[in-house]
């Protein structure tokens, strides 16, 4: 049976509300919508290289949802909404590869908790997106998928590690998507691709079934073209998971009616936003020319004025923790092998390597990813002795101090959020590597506090710039309110011309 005609459904910039309104009016079907996005992937992904695999069962799932709609109405808040998943999130019906040829045949027996929750909400898993291999870096290159390109300039990086999802959502390959964030991964890719990304408070979203990089930093989050759709997606993703005890902290933190129910165009009235100036400007002269940072700063300065014009009180500057203290709280080198090996022991099949060390030894990693292991102690750390590792324990204590200092600054200045650019510079040209030194990812990553990135405008040469808002623990609702009001006041989202049709 061929899918119904899709001519009446325009997938470009369609939102969850648009899709549901069309379903309820009988104007289209989940099968037609799913087919429309599959057609866009087939027509355009050769130019973008954002997708690793399309779900062969997507249309069957859509037909099931159409039958359910005829019987009972919408099955959930994401009924018939095509979703692109970052390919480090387990799916029972597709391989989960983390972008690695060494894991190309890894087939988990069940979904990651976030994937199961999305399906329960009615979503159609459309495809799995490319990522920085093993999520280890900020370029989005992998041995399995190659290099993903920026949706606004194919000669530039999309950032990473969730660059495949961000580029796919920017190019209208699905309605919403998922990423995961150890440091930057649902923030700088959305900023570079003119979409919205959310890093939730640690404990709001389950980590079960997600290929790990650093257990104490990893969290999944939504990527969408609008703040409202990001809120709707997080509504579905969040929730307590007995298999991930940290989610007990986030139990019942989502409003009963969902985050999207409280969005208000006047959400900036009376808000207090602090500008964290230490995250502006070039950090390393060898990363890029100073003019690159100046182009980002100019856009963010305009955004600050727009926040103020929309009703916010801007406190500028606000001193938070300095970079040296942030760097002293790094733990990835200690946790990576331990956490990755634990995932393999629970999830991967006989065809997969048994450990991170074994995977690296295959020689199959993308050269840029393999190079990141050089000069590190990642493979030399005794994972069984971390409870007695003084360096690791010291970094964890420093992390608590950084978190306390950040919360104190928010309290002392009565701030709703801190504001800064997710990256100090725009996307670099391929094959250059996006410099991690210019990423402002560690404040949220090391404190576990929530952050949202929203489009803020474009550089003179047409590259998107985002602005990041970091809030208090489990203050996602307030961040959504602020970002939504800014989005409605400014309308900085523009679909990329190359993929606008």
Q: What is the greatest pairwise CA distance in the chain?
A: 63
Four-CA torsion 112, 114, 116, 118, nearest 10 degrees: -150
Q: How many domains does the chain have?
A: 1
> What average pLDDT score do residues 421-430 get?
98
How far is Cα of residue 231 from the mean position of the Cα atoms in its chain?
13
Give the pLDDT band of residue 285 (cuts 50, 70, 90).
confident
Q: Confirm whether 446 is domain-assigned.
A: yes
CA distance 59 to 42: 15
Q: Show the CA angle centred on residue 238, arms to residues 13 and 151, nearest 5°.
A: 30
Element (H, E) at 272: strand 272-275
pLDDT in tens, 365-391: 999 999 999 999 999 999 999 999 999
- Report whether 474 contacts 253 (CB < 8 A): yes
* SS3 call for 340: helix
Range of the domain at 393: 16-499
Four-CA torsion 258, 261, 266, 271, nearest 10 degrees: -20
- C-beta pairs of 351-359 under 8 Å, 24+ apart in sequence: 351/105, 351/106, 352/102, 352/103, 352/105, 352/106, 353/102, 353/103, 359/100, 359/102, 359/103
Q: Read off the CATH number of the domain in which 425 is found.
A: 3.90.1300.10
Q: Which two tokens stand for residue 434?
A: 């996006």
Element counts in the chain: helices (H) and strands (E): 15, 13
> What average pLDDT score do residues 53-81 get?
98
Q: CA of 139: how far to CAs of 291, 426, 445, in Å?
A: 21, 13, 18
> What average pLDDT score do residues 198-227 get?
99
> What average pLDDT score do residues 150-174 get?
99
> Would residue 333 be called left, alpha or beta, if left means φ above 0 and alpha means ψ between -120 and 50 degrees?
alpha
Q: DSSP of 433-501, one letter per residue?
A: PPPGGGB--HHHHHH---EEEEEEEE-TTS-EEEEEEE-STT-HHHHHHHHHHHHHHH------GGG--
Q: Confirm whether 9 is domain-assigned.
A: no
Give the number of other CB atoms < 10 A from CB of residue 234.
27
Q: Is the pLDDT of residue 234 over 80?
A: yes
Q: Confirm whether 2 is domain-assigned.
A: no
Q: Is the pLDDT of residue 286 over 90?
A: no
CA distance 284 to 433: 14
Q: Can you give the pLDDT at residue 150?
A: 99
Q: Confirm whether 398 is domain-assigned.
A: yes
Q: DSSP of 79-134, one letter per residue?
A: TT-EEEEETTB-BTTB---TT-GGGTT---SS--HHHHHHHHTT-EEEEEE--SGG
Least confident interval from 6-15, 274-283, 488-497: 6-15
Strand 451-458 relative to strand 464-470, pairing = antiparallel
Q: Confirm whether 6 is domain-assigned.
A: no
> What average pLDDT score do residues 69-85 get?
98
With the C-alpha atoms ordered 40, 44, 50, 55, is the resulting torsion angle positive or negative? Answer: positive
CA distance 421 to 130: 24
Q: Can you give the pLDDT at residue 112?
A: 99
How far is Cα of residue 244 from the mean position of the Cα atoms in its chain?
20
Q: Confirm whether 5 is domain-assigned.
A: no
How far is Cα of residue 311 from the mean position of the Cα atoms in its chain?
28
CA distance 111 to 446: 28
> What average pLDDT score do residues 311-333 get?
96
Q: Confirm whether 178 is domain-assigned.
A: yes
Strand 124-129 relative to strand 141-142, pairing = unpaired
Q: Is the pLDDT of residue 13 over 70?
A: yes
CA distance 151 to 166: 9
Q: Can you give the pLDDT at residue 5?
A: 52
Give the pLDDT band of residue 411 (cuts 50, 70, 90).
very high
Mean of per-residue pLDDT scores for the chain: 97
Give the pLDDT band of residue 1 (cuts 50, 70, 90).
very low
The single-letter DSSP state of residue 223 is E
> What average pLDDT score do residues 286-315 get?
97
Q: Confirm whether 140 is domain-assigned.
A: yes
Four-CA torsion 60, 62, 68, 72, nearest 10 degrees: 180
Strand 51-54 relative to strand 141-142, pairing = unpaired
Q: List Cβ neighbours of 303 (8 Å cut-off, separation of 6 or more).
A: 456, 457, 467, 486, 490
The residues carrying an active-site annotation are 86, 161, 185
């Amino acid at each position: 049976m061929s899918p119904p005609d899709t001519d009446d459904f325009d997938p470009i910039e369609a939102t969850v509300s648009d899709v549901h309104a069309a379903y309820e009016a009988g104007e289209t079907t989940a099968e037609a919508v799913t087919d429309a996005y599959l057609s866009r992937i087939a027509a355009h992904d050769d130019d973008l290289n954002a997708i690793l695999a399309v779900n062969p069962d997507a249309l069957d799932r859509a037909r099931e949802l159409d039958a359910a709609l005829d019987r009972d109405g919408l099955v959930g808040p994401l009924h018939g909404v095509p979703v692109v998943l970052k390919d480090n999130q387990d799916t029972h019906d597709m391989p989960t590869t983390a972008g690695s040829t060494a894991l190309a045949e890894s087939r988990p027996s069940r979904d990651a908790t976030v994937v199961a929750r999305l399906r329960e909400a009615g979503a159609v898993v459309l495809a799995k997106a490319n990522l920085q291999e093993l999520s280890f870096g900020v370029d989005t290159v992998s041995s399995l998928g190659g290099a993903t390109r920026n949706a606004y300039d194919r000669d530039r990086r999309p950032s990473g590690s969730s660059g495949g999802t961000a580029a796919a959502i920017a190019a209208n390959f699905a309605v919403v998507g998922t990423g995961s964030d150890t440091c930057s991964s649902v923030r700088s890719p959305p900023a570079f691709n003119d979409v919205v990304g959310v890093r939730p408070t640690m404990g709001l979203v389950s980590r079960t079934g997600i290929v790990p990089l650093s257990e104490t930093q990893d969290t999944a989050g939504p990527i969408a073209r609008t703040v409202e759709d990001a809120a709707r997606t997080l509504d579905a993703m969040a929730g307590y998971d007995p298999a991930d005890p940290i989610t007990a902290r986030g139990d019942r933190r989502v409003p009963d009616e969902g985050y999207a129910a409280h969005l208000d165009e006047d959400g900036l009235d009376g808000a207090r936003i602090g500008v964290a100036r230490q995250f502006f400007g070039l950090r390393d002269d060898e990363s890029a020319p100073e003019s690159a940072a100046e182009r980002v700063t100019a856009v963010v300065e305009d955004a600050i004025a727009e926040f103020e014009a929309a009703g916010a009180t801007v406190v500028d500057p606000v001193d938070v923790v300095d970079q040296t203290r942030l760097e002293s709280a790094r733990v990835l080198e200690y946790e990576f092998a331990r956490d990755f090996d634990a995932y393999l022991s629970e999830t991967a099949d006989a065809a997969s390597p048994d450990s991170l060390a074994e995977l690296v030894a295959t020689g199959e990693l993308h050269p840029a990813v393999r190079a990141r292991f050089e000069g590190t102690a990642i493979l030399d750390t005794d994972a069984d002795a971390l409870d007695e590792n003084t360096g690791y324990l010291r970094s964890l204590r420093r992390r608590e101090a950084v978190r306390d200092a950040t919360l104190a600054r928010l309290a002392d200045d009565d701030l709703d959020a801190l504001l800064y650019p997710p990256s100090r510079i725009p996307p670099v040209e391929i094959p250059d590597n996006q410099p991690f030194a210019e990423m402002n990812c560690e404040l949220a990553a090391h404190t576990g506090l929530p952050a949202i990135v929203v489009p803020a405008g474009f550089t003179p040469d047409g590259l998107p710039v985002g602005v990041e808002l970091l809030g208090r623990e489990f203050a996602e609702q307030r961040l959504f309110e602020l970002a939504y009001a800014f989005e409605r006041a400014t309308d900085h989202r523009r679909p990329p011309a190359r993929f606008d049709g």
